[in-house]
Chains A and B, each alone.
Chain A
Amino acid sequence: MFDLLPHLLNGLTLGLLFALIALGFMLIVGLMEQINLAHGSLFALGAYLAMQLMGSRPPFPAELAKAWIALPLGWRYAATLVIAPIAVGIVGMAIEFCMRRTYGKDPLYGLLLTFGAAMVIEETIRLIWGTRDYVLQVPQAVSGGFLFGDLIWSTYRFYAAGIAAAIIGVVWLVIEKTSFGATVKAGAHDSEIVRALGINLTRLRLLVFVLGTMLAAIAGIIVAPIWGIRPHMGVDAVIPAFLVIVLGGVGSFWGAVVAGLLVGLCVGLSGAYASEWSLLSMYILLVAVVTVRARGLWGKKSVLEA
C-alpha cells in the first residue's frame, strides 16, 4: 500500500493543477457561455512573461531593470505572480472588447474569435521567444527536494498544489460569498435579471473574462517549473482542462474541482503501471462518465444546450 502513496500524492497534486488550469476556463464557459480557445495560449503567455521577468533581462527600462534585478529572488517571484497575470489580463481585455460584437449571435463566432486570438498569441510567442525550451527560475525556498520515508519529494510540487488549492478557495469565496459573485451567478442564469437589477452587464462580462484570463496566466506560472516552458505547453494544458470541465459538468464549480482531482488521480495511478498510457486513462474516465451521466458529474441542465 505504501508503494502507492507517492503515486496517490502525485495524482492529487496533478489534480489540483488540472483544476487550477481549468478554473479560469470554467468561469468563462459557465458564466459567459463562451469557450475561450485562447485559454491555452494565455496560459503559455503567462509562463513566458514570468520567465522573462525572472530572467536576467526583464522587459523594463534600464534603470528600473537594474533595481528589479537587485531585488531578492523571492520578492521578484512574488511581484511576478502579480505583474504577469495583469499583463495577460490586459490581453484578455482586448479579446473581450472584440468579443462584444459576437454577443447575442451564434456562439460559434465567439469560439472562432478566440481561436483567431490563440493563433495570434501563439505566433507572437514564437516570434519573440522562438521554439526552444526555457526554465522558470523559482526562489530557493520552494525548489529542491526533501527526504521522507526513503523517498525524495519535490518541494515545488507541494508548493504548487498548495497555491492551486488556495487560489481555488479564493475563487470559490469570491463567487459564493461576495456580492460580485452573486451578480455574476445571476448573470450566468439570466442576463435579463442582471439588467433588471440595474447592473452593468458589459462591465460584468469584461470583469469575468479578464479574471478568467488572469487565472490562466497564474496557472501557467505555477505549472511552468514542472512541465517546462515551450511553445506546445498551452495545448498540453488545455486538453485536460477541456476534459475536466466536460467531466465535471459545464458550469459547475465543484464539478470542475472534483473532476480535476479525479483526472489527476487517474493519471497519477495509471502512470504507476503503464506510464505510456497514463494520458489515455483520463479519456477512458471521461467516456465512462459521459456514457452514464450525459451531463457530466455535476452538470445541471444548462442554458448552453437549450
Chain B
Amino acid sequence: MTSTSPSLSSDATRLVTPAMLVLWLVLATVPLWISRVGLYPYLGIEILIWSLYALAFNLVLGTAGLPSFGHGAYFGIGAYAFGLCQFNVAANLWVCLVAAFAVAGLAGALVALFISHRRGIYYAFMTIAFGQIFWTLAIKSHGITGGEDGLLKIARLPADFGVVTFDLADNVAFYYFVLVVFALAVVAMWRLTHSPYGRVVAAIKQSETRAAHLGYHVWLYKASIFTLSAAISGLAGGLFAMAQLAAFPDVMSLHQSGYVVMMTLVGGGLVSFWGPVVGVFVFLIARDVIGALTNAWMLYFGLLFIAIVLFRPEGIAGAVTAAFQKHSLIRRQGNSAMRLLFGAERWR
C-alpha cells in the first residue's frame, strides 16, 4: 500500500496536537469520576507517572530502536535522588525534581559510554547487566538507600510558584500536579521526536550504516538519546517517590524493567507515539481489575503477553490502525478520529 503523509505535514509540525488536547481534557476529569467506577485517585497518579516513564523509555525503544532492558534503574535512581535531595540538599520541590532528572541522566550517560557502540541483543545484554548493577547497589547501600526496606518518609513537597503555593499532600491535588508535568513532558517529547534530532535518531534506527555514511556521528546520537531517556525516566521516578512517599529498590529489578518494555510493546510503542500510554492504561487497570478477581493475574498477563508478541507484535495501537486501514469505509469516516487518537502515521 502506498502511503502519503497528511498527518506528517500537520501534527508533526504542531507543538500541541488535537490528540494531546483531547487526552488532557479527559485526564483532567478523572478525579471527578474515578472513585465512582470502583477505582481510586491513586491509580490515576500511578498511570500518569508510568505513562511518562513509558514514553521516555520509548524514546530509546521505539524512536531509536535500541532494546534497553534495564531502564528501571533510571526510574529508581530518580526516585532515590528525589528523596536524598530532599533530606540532604534542599527540601524544595523544584530542586529535588531537577536532581531526579539530572542524577538519572548522569547515570544514563555513564552507561551510554559503555554500550552505545553496540546493537541488538548485545545492547540488550549490556543494559541488563548495568541495570542489575544499579539494582544491587540500591539494595546493598543500606546506609544511603535504606536497602530493601526502602528510603522512607519522603514528603510531597509543596509546589511553590512564588506568588502561590500548592499543597500536594492530597491525592487529587497531586494528581493535577503530575498531570501538568506529564503534559509538559509530552509536548517536549512530541517535539523532540519530530525535530531534526528525532528524525536523525529514527534514521539511525533504520540503518546505522547509511546514517554514518551521511556524516552522522551515530555513537553520539545513540548515547544522547539514551541519556535523555534516562533523565526523563528519572523525573518520572522522582514523581513516583512523591506518590509513594518512599523509594524502593524493586522498581529497579529486571522484572520491573521488563514490565515497562511490556507495557510499551503491548500498547504499540513501536508504531505509535501514544502506544506506551495505551499500554500503561491496559496494564495497570488490568492489574487492579484482574488482580481483584484472581491472585494469579501475572500468569494470565504473561500468557496474554506471549500471545501479543507472537501474533500482534505491533501492539494495540498497531492493531487498531491496521483494522482502520482494512475497512476503507470506516477509514474514510474514522481516519481523522484515528489520527487524533493514535497519530499512527507518525513514521511515514
Give residues in A with beta carbon < 8 Å to B: 29, 33-35, 37, 98, 101-102, 105, 107-109, 111-113, 115-120, 122-124, 127, 235, 238-239, 242-243, 245-246, 250, 276-277, 279-280, 283, 286-287, 290-291, 294, 302, 304-306
Contact = CB atoms under 8 A, between A and B. Distances in A.
Interface residues of B, number: 39
Contact of A109 (B114, B133, B313): B313
Nearest to A238: B254
A29 B140 CA distance: 29
Contact of A280 (B129, B140, B262): B140
B309 A113 contact: yes
A98 B122 contact: no
Contacts of A34: 121
Contacts of B236: none
B129 A242 contact: yes
A185 B313 CA distance: 30
Interface in B268-312: 296, 298-299, 301-303, 305-306, 309-310
A117 B306 contact: yes
Nearest to A95: B306
B120 A304 contact: yes
A239 B132 contact: yes
A304 B69 contact: no
B336 interface: no
Contacts of A109: 309, 313
A120 B129 contact: no
B310 A280 contact: no
Contact of B121 (A29, A102, A112, A235): A29
B121 A33 contact: yes
Interface in B57-93: 61, 67, 69
B229 interface: no
Contacts of A119: 258, 298-299, 301-302, 305
A291 to B, nearest CB: 7
A243 B125 CA distance: 9
Contact of B128 (A105, A242, A305): A242
A117 B302 contact: yes
Contacts of A124: 299
Contacts of B133: 283, 286-287
A111 B67 contact: yes
Interface in B102-160: 114, 117-126, 128-129, 132-133, 136-137, 140
B233 interface: no
A117 B126 CA distance: 21
Contacts of B258: 37, 115, 118-119
Contact of B119 (A276, A290, A305): A305
A102 B309 contact: yes
Contact of A107 (B121, B309, B313): B121
A291 B114 contact: yes
Contact of A127 (B120, B123, B296): B296
Contacts of B117: 294
Given A35-B124, A276-B140, A235 B253 contact: yes
A162 B325 CA distance: 61
22 contacts: A33-B121, A101-B310, A107-B121, A109-B309, A116-B302, A117-B302, A119-B299, A119-B301, A119-B302, A119-B305, A120-B306, A246-B125, A250-B125, A276-B140, A280-B140, A283-B133, A286-B129, A286-B133, A294-B117, A305-B118, A305-B120, A306-B119
B122 A305 contact: yes
A118 B126 CA distance: 20
Contacts of A238: 254
B261 interface: yes
B126 A98 contact: no
Contact of A243 (B129, B140, B310): B129
B96 interface: no
B342 to A, nearest CB: 21
B265 interface: yes
Between B309, B310, B313, the greatest number of chain A beta carbons within 10 A of the residue's beta carbon is seen for B309
B212 to A, nearest CB: 14
Given A242-B125, A286-B129, A304-B121, 8 more contacts: A112-B262, A116-B303, A116-B305, A118-B258, A242-B132, A250-B125, A287-B114, A290-B114
B251 to A, nearest CB: 14
Nearest to B118: A305
Between A35, A105, A119, A294, the greatest number of chain B beta carbons within 10 A of the residue's beta carbon is seen for A119
B140 A277 contact: yes
Contacts of B305: 112, 115-116, 119
A255 B302 CA distance: 34
Contacts of A123: 296, 298-299, 302
Interface in B27-53: none
A279 B299 CA distance: 31
A98 B307 CA distance: 9
Contact of A98 (B121, B299, B310): B310
A109 B133 CA distance: 24
A111 B69 contact: yes
A33 B125 CA distance: 11
A294 B117 CA distance: 9
Contacts of B306: 98, 113, 116-117, 120
A124 B118 CA distance: 35
Contacts of A117: 302, 306
